[in-house]
């Protein structure tokens, strides 16, 4: 088994009582003594500090970096204003999703954050295509990445960085050697903060000294993002799902769509922009209290028939107060309220199609 990568803050996590587990090649904190349920609820009501240093951080430099990146993603990068960030997808020629990522326009360069499990392939993908277009791909390996999430995050971070209070959702800023975006992966207001690795522990301790801020692990990160209806790469989206299947067409700017100023030009564009999806990602609410987990087959009737879909993420929503799931069903069965059945240990249990997100977002617009 390959040796796991260690986070810059590993010693702090151990000191805080974290249970560490392997995740995407990294030794990661899955929960702290508060427990997943407590961590989830604390993030929704106060402020949670997540160590997401396993994510890949990349800078793209070059006068045409935005236009060059548009050859790999369907998002409108050329139209992204300075000091702003946007969600994007790497796609393949078949229209499948290679990864999802965040792209920030920081004036003379773009700053990207990619998923840990896909970082190596994403970087190789960019290095194979962008240098020929005059873009340098700079991998950042000497910085930690922290996420501060929850309604108390603005007040907490402003005690250290007062300028962050005025930021709006998807704003980005460079504050000395600290890079901040007002974004996250919980559906709550909050920030992602890139800090030099050598200063990360001191910075994290300053935040944790604030009463509202508690450390949060991967377990609560997963339940929070599922309540928020957010995709997890490798589960809800992958190379077999198109942006249309995944209900992510909103991430494709008007300029990149048919008839737009820079229509197409990205891998799989013709299929993505013209195809009618045969299936759709939907929210699902199982009846009762028992969650339906990833891999549960979905059926259109209580008995007989072939499976018509599958759950890709599932668990219990602490704020929702009920089990929740996401999965793929035929487009004809994707309407809210449609009655389906999930096969749980050989028994078919009722589940209904539901709108996403399960818990309203708390972003600061």
- Decide if 322 is inside a domain: yes
Q: Is the pLDDT of residue 17 over 80?
A: yes
Same domain, 48 and 147: yes
Angle (deg, nearest 10), helices 218-227 and 35-45: 50
Q: Kindly report the CATH number assigned to the domain that includes residue 205.
A: 3.30.1360.120
Same domain for 46 and 154: yes
* Of the residues 208, 227, 246, the one at which a domain ends: 227
254 inside domain? no
Shared-domain flag, residues 221 and 285 = no
Please state the φ and ψ torsions of residue 363, each to the nearest 5 degrees: -65, 150
Looking at residue 365, its pLDDT comes to: 83
What is the model's pLDDT at position 304?
A: 84
Residues 214 and 333 in one domain: no
Domain boundary among 194, 227, 260: 227
Cis peptide before 105 (omega within 30 of 0): no
Considering the domain architecture, whether residues 194 and 297 belong to the same structural domain is answered as: no
Q: What are the tens digits of pLDDT across the range 238-256?
A: 999 999 999 999 999 999 9
Give the total number of structural domains in the chain.
Answer: 2
19 and 168 share one domain = yes
In a domain, 146, yes or no: yes
Where is the domain boundary, 167, 193, 227? 227
Within-domain flag for 152: yes
Q: Looking at the DSSP assignment, which residues form a beta bridge with residue 326?
A: 283, 313
Mean pLDDT of all residues in 193-208: 98
Instruction: Say what the pLDDT of residue 1 is.
Output: 63
Residues 26 and 162 in one domain: yes
In a shared domain, residues 288 and 365: yes
Q: Would you say residue 106 lies in a domain?
A: no
Look at residue 61 and tell me if it is in a domain: no
User: Considering the domain boundaries, does residue 205 fall inside one?
Assistant: yes
Percent over 70 (pLDDT), the chain: 100
Hey, which bits of 62-189 come out as E strands? 84-91, 97-105, 109-114, 136-140, 143-149, 172-175, 178-181
Q: Mean pLDDT for the chain?
A: 97
Tens digit of each residue's pLDDT (9 = 90 or more) over 159-177: 999 999 999 999 999 999 9
Q: 282-318: per-residue pLDDT in tens?
A: 999 999 999 999 999 999 999 988 999 999 999 999 9
This prediction has a pTM of 0.97
Nearest 10 degrees: Cα torsion 314, 315, 318, 319: 10
Domain membership flag for residue 91: no
Residue 200 has pLDDT above 80, yes or no: yes
Asked if 34 and 154 sit in the same domain, the reply is yes
Q: Are residues 293 and 221 in the same domain?
A: no
- Where in the sequence is the domain holding 222, given as residue range(s)? 5-53+142-227
Q: Which residues contact 12 (CB under 8 A, 6 or more apart)?
A: 201, 204, 205
For residue 320, pLDDT beyond 70: yes
CATH of the domain at 309: 2.40.30.110
pLDDT of residue 6: 97
pLDDT tens digits, 254-286? 999 999 999 999 999 999 999 789 999 999 999
């Amino acid at each position: 088994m390959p040796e796991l990568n260690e986070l810059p803050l590993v010693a702090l996590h151990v000191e805080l009582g974290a249970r560490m587990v392997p995740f995407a090649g990294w030794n990661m904190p899955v929960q702290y003594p508060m427990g997943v349920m407590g961590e989830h609820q604390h993030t929704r009501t106060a402020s949670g500090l997540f160590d997401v240093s396993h994510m890949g951080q990349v800078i793209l430099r070059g006068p045409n970096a935005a236009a060059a990146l548009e050859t790999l993603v369907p998002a409108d990068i050329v139209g992204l204003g300075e000091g702003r960030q946007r969600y994007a997808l790497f796609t393949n020629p078949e229209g499948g999703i290679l990864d999802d990522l965040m792209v920030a326009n920081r004036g003379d360069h773009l700053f990207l954050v990619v998923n840990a499990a896909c970082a190596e392939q994403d970087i190789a993908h960019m290095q194979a295509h962008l240098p020929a277009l005059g873009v340098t791909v700079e991998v950042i390996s000497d910085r930690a990445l922290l996420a501060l999430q929850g309604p108390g995050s603005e007040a907490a971070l402003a005690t250290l960085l007062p300028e962050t209070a005025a930021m709006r959702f998807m704003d980005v800023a460079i504050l000395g050697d600290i890079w901040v975006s007002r974004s996250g992966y919980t559906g709550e207001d909050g920030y992602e903060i890139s800090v030099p690795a050598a200063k990360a522990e001191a910075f994290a301790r300053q935040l944790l000294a604030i009463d509202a801020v508690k450390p949060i692990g991967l377990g609560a990160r997963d339940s929070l993002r599922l309540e928020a209806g957010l995709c997890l790469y490798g589960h809800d989206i992958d190379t077999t799902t198109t942006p249309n299947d995944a209900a992510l067409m909103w991430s494709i700017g008007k300029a990149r769509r048919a008839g737009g100023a820079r229509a197409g030009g990205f891998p799989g564009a013709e299929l993505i922009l013209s195809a009618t999806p045969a299936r759709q990602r939907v929210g699902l609410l199982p009846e009762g209290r028992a969650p339906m987990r990833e891999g549960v087959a979905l059926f259109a009737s209580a008995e007989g028939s072939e499976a018509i879909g599958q759950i890709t993420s599932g668990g219990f929503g602490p704020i929702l107060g009920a089990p929740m799931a996401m999965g793929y069903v035929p487009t004809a069965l994707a309407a809210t309220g449609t009655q389906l059945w999930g096969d749980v240990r050989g028994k078919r249990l009722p589940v209904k199609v539901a709108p996403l997100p399960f818990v309203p977002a708390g972003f600061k617009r």
